[in-house]
Structure 1
């Protein structure tokens, strides 16, 4: 961790201060116009000083990290995370940790750009040659996942379960299908309300996300403290840092003695399990290598034989690549059947895709750095007197402004490292504690039913606390457990899942609209003729168009889980490309004194490689190249 911090807090200055001569200072005050001249020239203003950090006003200084950190407790943490941990425990959570660390570097870098010129990072990307319209086509293709209403669709499942008092089955019960469509539609429209009222849209989001953060973390902490065993907390915490651990298929008898020795009971069922998986036997493409399985009478592939009659496939396990390589001299054989879910966890652990980009917009709307000279996007209702400039405003880099710049940069570091990253790590950990503690190891939890299945496990545990938990103690057992409380916590867990996903959909929708409104507000010659207060109408128009597209996808798609996988596949490719593009922006458009050091540049390159590799593996899974 200290190695990563040294990248973000370089011990040596990035540059030396050289006093400007009067002639050079006069030249510098001419408004710069870097990149494509299809974008407007920047104006020049004075960089105000960053607020002095004091513990007594620490909450008042929290900015974009709060909104985006609360948004980060969303689909990846509530859907993909439990789907992974229910099957493999906490050992694979390091994938989310690495994703979050790369996103921290990215978030700080896009904020660096906004601090300098008051523009969001998307406007900076469109300043890179050849032309803004070129980047419109590229990013529209990459931003498809943000339009797909997978969060609203998944938020509908736990809400329907509360009213139906059972898990809905829209695939097989026609009535459930119609109920699911109408509930999802209502929720999708509900997320638009905070984006229409409240003055600054950013302020409305801040209120909603503050409530979500407090409510969700308080609820999950209560369950984790009183109904989870210390060993589960240890498993989750250690899993965040078990870098190199991968999923494999193998039996539990590691030493071959036929006895269930300590450490071999991977799924904690008290039996010595064997790998029940069956190899493919059908050669579909005639290459001599079987690549498909025989099917049963119902058309399902026969991928395993249930030898012990427990109703589930045994043999899921994990290995650490580095330990296995040291002991055996070869790499373990990976089980890539869950690669789509693992890739989804990495894609939206934290924020992911292009949904991180609004951090730079919020940096501006918060008035940080040069954002105070530019303005903000007002809501259609209540946004009187708030306007947004069509172009950025930069400051003259000299011996007076550079110390102020450093203080703003440290301000961003605090917000991202302590608020955003802290919320993300908590958001990955706490929902996973529920699935590890309350679901049997090896549970097949699909992404869109995982929240409801976890709620059933919570109900059983609250009804009858397990030995080793605080709730098992006689003094507490009669107070916080029993059948009635079990049923209450079943509903509360479902509602918590609903709250997590529906609020995250609000920020995802706002982020998509905000990205494109900001870009066109700056890049379009026609929109540049409008007064600054008219941006709220542009925002509302794009919001309505986004809603139409989202509802079209909602009513035409059949499998919510498939849309989730496709969306997160695009997220991985989008974040990879955006990382590299941000590196280009900050090393070409910013003055040399303000550009990132080499440690940060390498971090952005590695970030792109990490997410591009995951996107490629997920694509191979989606198109059937990985079974």
Structure 2
């Protein structure tokens, strides 16, 4: 078996496929048929909705609680749509392309991204710890749990919290993290439990937002919101690149760190993920996850099957994730704009999580106050659900892959590490909640996500260019990945300068 400039070539009957450095060669097996994976006779529209769509819902649940509920409405409430909306659209487009490339690797090898990164020179001893540090530094602060805690406090007491009651908000946030533990522990299959939870939460909150926006928001604001999303314009005066960077970073997930949510394509059984295994819950049967991925030989059968899997991936990411993210951004932002106009006030970093509920409640009664609080808690909890589980999952997956000693200790059952580590992480995040206000924590996380865009697109270019030929991207896909570096990297540089110097490098 030899290597060429375009990636490994394989013998007529290969048993392994070398890819990159410092990790064992991938195993070889045929791609499964989608019907085999999802246990159906045929895949029509109903079966796709029922069985195939899923990983994008988890990613969408994360997305809607950060950029869509906090940073987008905050920016639009203060500066308006024009000059802000185009950043949302460009970010969503670039990130969805980036998600495709992350998922391509998972689907072609069954390895989750953080494990695959260990194949990039100089090897896993650099890339696995570095990827974990970048991911954890962006998401360990628990800003979404803190924001959900604000809304939950108001639901319980019927009023917003006072400054001296912030500790109660943090305790409620920690309680919500324990709810995440319960959801995963009671599951038979963790990814499926997250999918179902997000089906329920997203259906409720988007349904409520559609009804409220149709009933309350004038059509002129609907048009202004749509026009802002598609009209290139200079950023509004007074906004900084750091503020725009937070919006860009958390529109449609987490810019350069989106890879952390793509593990679910393995657990869902997309492509070669079906050959590798999945993480089961405590109620499920013990399932082993292979420490090394599996890819497929370049045959006519596998080429045909790859095309089918790729089409299913496009449906999941472009129709559900991209479409949902754009709708999820439009509805809260036009509602926030309406509230700003009718109340004569603008949101602050301190009150964004409850701003809409407070002012709509003042205008339309206590029922509206509680309804919007429920929506806000569901939005932010869905995000913290996905992020918190991903913090545990990515650490578990990476340690399981690179540490034979850990695999011996847990006797092939990743749950024996996953759940104890989740409890440890609850304690760590509980301490991190005390560092700043919820929206400030989310802004830090968003700009640190932009940091990941400086290098991870290049890592994906290295990996995906070496996949079996049917799975490799087309040349223009590499161009899109480089555009991710330029777009999100610009915002991170501004954030880093402002963080170090104390003033904005670029202000419009």
**Same topology, TM > 0.5:** yes
Alignment counterpart, residue 151 of structure 1, candidates 140, 144, 150: 144
Structure 2 residue matching 1:43: 3-state secondary structure: strand
TM-score normalised by length of structure 2:
0.90
Structure 1 residue matching 2:122: 3-state secondary structure: coil
1:506 aligns with 2:385: yes
- Residue of structure 2 equivalent to 1:615: 492
Per-residue CA deviation, residues 81-129 of structure 1 (Å, 9 max, x unaligned), is 1111112222212212111111111111111111111111111111112
Alignment counterpart, residue 16 of structure 2, candidates 18, 31, 35: 31
Query: Equivalents in 2 of 1:487, 1:529: separation in Å?
Result: 57
Task: Please state how far the C-alpha of 1:456 moved relative to its aligned partner.
Answer: 2.6
Higher mean C-alpha deviation, range 107-116 or range 446-455? 446-455
Alignment counterpart, residue 235 of structure 2, candidates 213, 222, 246: 246
Query: Equivalents in 2 of 1:181, 1:571: separation in Å?
Result: 24
Query: Equivalents in 2 of 1:355, 1:208: separation in Å?
Result: 23
Change (3 A) 1:246 1:488: same
Change (3 A) 1:210 1:131: same
Task: Please state how far the C-alpha of 1:530 moved relative to its aligned partner.
Answer: 5.9
When you count helix as a share of all residues, which structure comes out higher? 2
Task: Please state how far the C-alpha of 1:522 moved relative to its aligned partner.
Answer: 1.2
Count the aligned residue pairs: 486
Asked if structure 2 preserves the Cα contact closer than 8 Å seen for 1:152 and 1:505, the reply is yes
Alignment counterpart, residue 300 of structure 2, candidates 399, 402, 407: 399
Change (3 A) 1:141 1:386: closer
Structure 1 residue matching 2:59: 3-state secondary structure: helix
TM-score normalised by length of structure 1:
0.74
1:78 aligns with 2:69: yes
Structure 1 residue matching 2:121: 3-state secondary structure: coil
Task: Please state how far the C-alpha of 1:575 moved relative to its aligned partner.
Answer: 3.5
Query: Equivalents in 2 of 1:454, 1:404: separation in Å?
Result: 48
Change (3 A) 1:384 1:53: closer
- Residue of structure 1 equivalent to 2:5: none
Asked if structure 1 preserves the Cα contact closer than 8 Å seen for 2:249 and 2:488, the reply is yes
- Residue of structure 2 equivalent to 1:251: none
Matches within 5 A, 1:80-99: 80-91=71-82, 92-99=84-91
Query: Equivalents in 2 of 1:203, 1:369: separation in Å?
Result: 17
Structure 1 residue matching 2:236: 3-state secondary structure: strand
Asked if structure 2 preserves the Cα contact closer than 8 Å seen for 1:46 and 1:396, the reply is yes
Higher radius of gyration, 1 or 2: 1
- Residue of structure 2 equivalent to 1:230: 219
Asked if structure 2 preserves the Cα contact closer than 8 Å seen for 1:146 and 1:355, the reply is no
Query: Equivalents in 1 of 2:69, 2:300: separation in Å?
Result: 48
Higher mean C-alpha deviation, range 524-533 or range 177-186? 524-533
Alignment counterpart, residue 373 of structure 1, candidates 275, 280, 288: 275
Matches within 5 A, 1:200-349: 200-248=189-237, 335-337=238-240, 339-349=241-251
Asked if structure 1 preserves the Cα contact closer than 8 Å seen for 2:144 and 2:438, the reply is no
- Residue of structure 1 equivalent to 2:283: 382
Task: Please state how far the C-alpha of 1:576 moved relative to its aligned partner.
Answer: 3.6
1:160 aligns with 2:153: yes
Unaligned runs of at least 5 residues, structure 1? 1-19, 249-334, 464-485
Query: Equivalents in 2 of 1:178, 1:116: separation in Å?
Result: 47
Higher mean C-alpha deviation, range 119-128 or range 434-443? 434-443
Task: Please state how far the C-alpha of 1:529 moved relative to its aligned partner.
Answer: 3.8
CA-based RMSD = 2.2
Asked if structure 1 preserves the Cα contact closer than 8 Å seen for 2:153 and 2:161, the reply is yes
Asked if structure 2 preserves the Cα contact closer than 8 Å seen for 1:89 and 1:235, the reply is no
Asked if structure 1 preserves the Cα contact closer than 8 Å seen for 2:148 and 2:353, the reply is no
Asked if structure 2 preserves the Cα contact closer than 8 Å seen for 1:517 and 1:539, the reply is yes
Task: Please state how far the C-alpha of 1:70 moved relative to its aligned partner.
Answer: 2.7
- Residue of structure 2 equivalent to 1:56: 46
1:540 aligns with 2:441: no
Query: Equivalents in 2 of 1:111, 1:64: separation in Å?
Result: 10
1:585 aligns with 2:463: yes
Matches within 5 A, 1:417-428: 417-428=318-329
Query: Equivalents in 2 of 1:25, 1:529: separation in Å?
Result: 35
Matches within 5 A, 1:2-41: 24-26=11-13, 29-37=14-22, 39-41=23-25
Asked if structure 1 preserves the Cα contact closer than 8 Å seen for 2:61 and 2:386, the reply is no
Query: Equivalents in 2 of 1:132, 1:440: separation in Å?
Result: 52
Query: Equivalents in 1 of 2:218, 2:393: separation in Å?
Result: 43
Asked if structure 2 preserves the Cα contact closer than 8 Å seen for 1:191 and 1:502, the reply is no
Query: Equivalents in 2 of 1:354, 1:542: separation in Å?
Result: 25
Higher mean C-alpha deviation, range 122-131 or range 533-542? 533-542
Per-residue CA deviation, residues 257-290 of structure 1 (Å, 9 max, x unaligned), is xxxxxxxxxxxxxxxxxxxxxxxxxxxxxxxxxx
- Residue of structure 1 equivalent to 2:3: none
Matches within 5 A, 1:475-494: 486-494=365-373
Asked if structure 2 preserves the Cα contact closer than 8 Å seen for 1:110 and 1:359, the reply is no
- Residue of structure 2 equivalent to 1:276: none
Query: Equivalents in 2 of 1:88, 1:526: separation in Å?
Result: 54
Per-residue CA deviation, residues 303-352 of structure 1 (Å, 9 max, x unaligned), is xxxxxxxxxxxxxxxxxxxxxxxxxxxxxxxx344x43322221111111
Query: Equivalents in 2 of 1:73, 1:496: separation in Å?
Result: 11
Query: Equivalents in 2 of 1:606, 1:62: separation in Å?
Result: 28
